[in-house]
Chains A and B, each alone.
Chain A
Amino acid sequence: MGGATIVPAVETSFTVNGQTVHMALDPRESLLDVLRERLGLTGTKKGCDQGQCGACTVHLDGRRIVACLMPAVQANGRAVATIEGVASPDGVLHPLQEAFIEHDALQCGYCTPGQVMSGLACIAEGHVGSDAEIREYMSGNLCRCGAYAGIVAAVRQAGRSGI
């Protein structure tokens, strides 16, 4: 075994929910760990850390990504949006969050932030033409409690209300 690597930190700056952050980051740190462990934004969940479950879905420049597979330094100069920024600052929920509640589109709630972030992107991408299309484009987000029917109903409702 060789000696341990010393990895120089990389100065990084990006916005999270509109606020600018500057940090010196180990280039191996995932965006997920930076959000959760350094920025205290624990709404974004770790379900596999391998890009397979979708629990850590956030938006990068408006597109959905899994934060566990993105080195945080790659977010340099870009805009990150997380579940904490979806409701308005005065606490008014986004229509998709309301729709999740109205259709009980959750149980344990652990995958829910990722589902909401994916649902927002699914709507923005225009993939709400049919239930089958919603199901297909929401299939990157696993839900072990099995709340899928409610999730489809919530995305359909919010998607068709023209947000």
Chain B
Amino acid sequence: MTAAAARPRVDARAKVTGAARYGTDRTPEGLAYAAMAVATVGKGRVVEIDTAAAAAVAGVRLVLTRFEASELKPPVYIMAGGHAVQSLQPLLSDHIAYRGQPIALVVADTPVAATEAANRVCARYEAAPFALELDDEDAEKLRQPEALPVPALADIAVGDAEAVFAGSEVRVDEVYDHPKQAATPMELLGCVVEWRGDTVVVHEGTQNAGALRNGLALQLGIDPADVEVISPYLGGGFGQKNSLQPHLGPVALAARRLGRPVKFVMTRPQTFHQGSFRPASRHRVRLGADGNGRLTAAIYEVDQETSRHDLFPAMYTEAMSRLYGVPNFSGPTRLVRVDTQTPGYMRAPFESPASFAFESAVDELAYAVGRDPVALRLANDTGTDPITGQPFSSRHVAECLRRGAERFGWAARDPAPGSMRADDGSLIGWGVAIGAYPACVAPAIAHVRAGADGRVVVAVDGHEMGQGIRSAITFLVADDLGIAVDRVTVDIGDTRVAPQHLTAGSWGTASALPAVHAALRELRARLGVAETGMLDVGAAVAAAGQPTVEAEAATLGPGQPPEMLDRSRAGKVAFTGPVYPGFTSFSFVAHFVEVRIEATTRRVRVPRVVSVVDCGRVASAVTAASQVRGGVVWGLGAALREASEPERRYGGFFNATMEEYVISVNADIGEIEVDFIDEPDPLLNPVGVKGLGEVALVGVVPAVTNAVFHATGQRLRRVPITIADLL
């Protein structure tokens, strides 16, 4: 019997039968369908727009090209204290900031009519020159601490990295390039919006129902109490669905004007030009070390793209400065403005590209000093956060490395590049890398209702995007009370039951579980039963003489002021970490990768990966293992396949379909062995959990590129690695 058979993902049955309802699975009575026409120039101005042909399509009800600011206020960018994926609201002016920006919204009786009408919108533009890449002449470069002068975004600097680097016995100084990437969750961006009197009900797959509720209310000038956002399942988010999207306001207004519910499903190519994406970044890494590879200094400079209209904060150095005990570190960071939609958070947004650069450089150092890459990493481990001088709340990365090396069979590795071959003549390469990801926490409110029938209903902040948070919460309740899993119902992703703070940054489980844990303590107090131990819920509720007994608890991150709950209720980002009063918290991972490079074609295959993770206590064994395998699949895609190519002629992106933006398919993936340290973190929360979903990806890319170096002797400092690089 598999572990999943013994304790399956709680919503697995709904998902294998098609019963799970995602945002745009709703088809309310009288539904109309929206589609968008988009700009076909890279930047400029709409001079003239002809909607006559669109309006003449049978079944078309509305063709909207412009809203007044009085009816649709521009939103505030989420990272500027607001709710939205970007500050630019399309359809408010003639300005075109990027190719693919919506220029018209049409609404029709059928999807076919809406699509045809959108295709018939015809615009004339005054085109302007645009910048798309880091090196473009018009790409404005900003020092981040000057552009975003807040303490959290100051360049990290401890010791005297420049001087110590200059005097180091061994030096590595290399530049690494990481491309733009598209999140491409399988579920398209979209919504179903329905007005019921003055209340607007939004069904949209989102990681942040609270931001949609409050942000939409501000845009429309209505009371947030009149907005309900319902998102029990996402078809993947990966950061792209982390805030209010520009389509929601216009669709809501169209629905109100028409007096009908409206469904909008963005086309897949449009998601590449409108959804947030991982921006391109360039990394210069300078490492100083002694002759044994003991790190003395690191200078890690990063340039990252942002849009012309927003400043997407770049935080590459936060985790890399904690990978090792480097006493002298500096991390000058720059933002580079290009003419696209605002880029954003895509799974391990900074840490995955950063680890590619930093862990490649560490591998280069290992070869420079002639030391085994695992041994060199172990020699540089630390129990102290080198930036703050505080202890880590828990840090088992050395055990991840040791256990991973043993499972992988690392001891049999011949370190000489090109030294290992398979029977069929393929080159074999073995690579290793570690990763870290901040363990952050957000405020959460949990409400628990126990019934005389023995059932328990939990409502809490959190969104289920496949990571398994619904399962983790269910298992916590079932195990705490000693009741069957099927007695527990979990309501998440719904603003009618909790504020629904953003679920991202791997803080979802570490935020929701402590709140549920606290609510269960409160429930036990109200029932007058022991604080722990098995409970006959039905009998205890009956003994209280009521049909149901309810309890509520709100929890914050360590050291977080209670005002953060108000921020969460207002739909704003209110997380804290990874630096807390007295300790610093990160999750850690070690990845071991085998590549095989076919002798004639030079095609790279990855037959096996071993990943060992320190995420604190494992809250849901089966879904956690799946999440790690998923992170590895992402990393293999990032190392060997994925790049969003800029379209130099027309602006935007060249490969804007799922055929041309190449993610890993089933045949690309071999064995992935996952193990967990499973040691509860003693300080972060009473449940002992840290984050998991993102750290799983951090370090996979350099483990692959380091393996390619081991196989071939070629040090490739740009991903994805393709056959052309290896011929």
Contacts and interface: CB of A to CB of B under 8 A. Distances in A.
B567 interface: no
Interface string B1-40: 1101100110111111111111011010001010000000
Nearest to B669: A148
A42 interface: yes
Interface in B176-208: 184-188
> Which of B27, B111, B188, B233 is the most central at the interface, judged by chain A CB atoms within 10 Å of its CB?
B111
B53 A4 contact: yes
A138 B666 contact: yes
A11 to B, nearest CB: 17
Nearest to B238: A144
Contact of B633 (A37, A49, A132, A146): A146
Interface in A62-81: none
> Which of A97, A112, A113, A142 is the most central at the interface, judged by chain B CB atoms within 10 Å of its CB?
A112
Interface stretch (B408-416, B426-434, B462-470, B569-577): B462-470
A44 B4 contact: no
A20 interface: no
Of the four ranges (under 10, 10 to 19, 20 to 34, 35 or more), the interface on chain A belongs to 35 or more
B268 A103 contact: no
Given A26-B112, A110-B187, A4 B8 contact: no
A33 B11 CA distance: 25
Interface stretch (B84-92, B621-629, B679-687): B621-629
B16 A116 contact: yes
Interface string B40-83: 00000000001011001110000000000000000000000000
Interface stretch (B139-147, B657-665, B705-713): B657-665
A108 B234 contact: yes
Nearest to A43: B18
A21 interface: no
A100 B657 CA distance: 28
A113 B18 contact: yes
Given A43-B17, A45-B186, A93-B16, A146 B58 contact: no
Contact of A108 (B33, B185, B622): B185
A12 B112 CA distance: 17
Contacts of A1: 50, 52-53, 120, 122
Contact of B669 (A7, A106, A108, A146): A146
B291 interface: no
Contacts of A112: 15-16
Interface string B463-490: 0011110000000000000000000000
A102 B14 CA distance: 14
Nearest to A29: B112
A48 interface: yes
Nearest to B625: A104
Of the four ranges (under 10, 10 to 19, 20 to 34, 35 or more), the interface on chain B belongs to 35 or more
Contacts of A132: 667
A46 B58 contact: no
A139 to B, nearest CB: 4
Contacts of B259: none
A4 B11 contact: no
Interface in A112-134: 112-113, 116, 132, 134
Contacts of B507: none
B21 A42 contact: yes
A46 B110 CA distance: 16
A158 B499 CA distance: 42
B179 to A, nearest CB: 18
Contact of B9 (A36, A55, A104): A104
Nearest to A136: B667
Contacts of A16: none
Sorted nearest first, the 7 A-B pairs with minimum C-beta distance are A43-B18, A110-B235, A146-B633, A108-B466, A109-B15, A107-B466, A146-B630
Given A50-B658, A52-B268, A142-B663, 12 more contacts: A43-B18, A47-B268, A82-B18, A101-B8, A102-B4, A104-B4, A132-B667, A144-B236, A145-B466, A147-B626, A147-B629, A148-B665
19 contacts: A4-B120, A26-B112, A28-B112, A36-B25, A37-B27, A42-B27, A46-B24, A47-B268, A49-B268, A83-B17, A101-B8, A101-B12, A106-B15, A108-B185, A108-B235, A112-B16, A145-B466, A146-B630, A148-B665
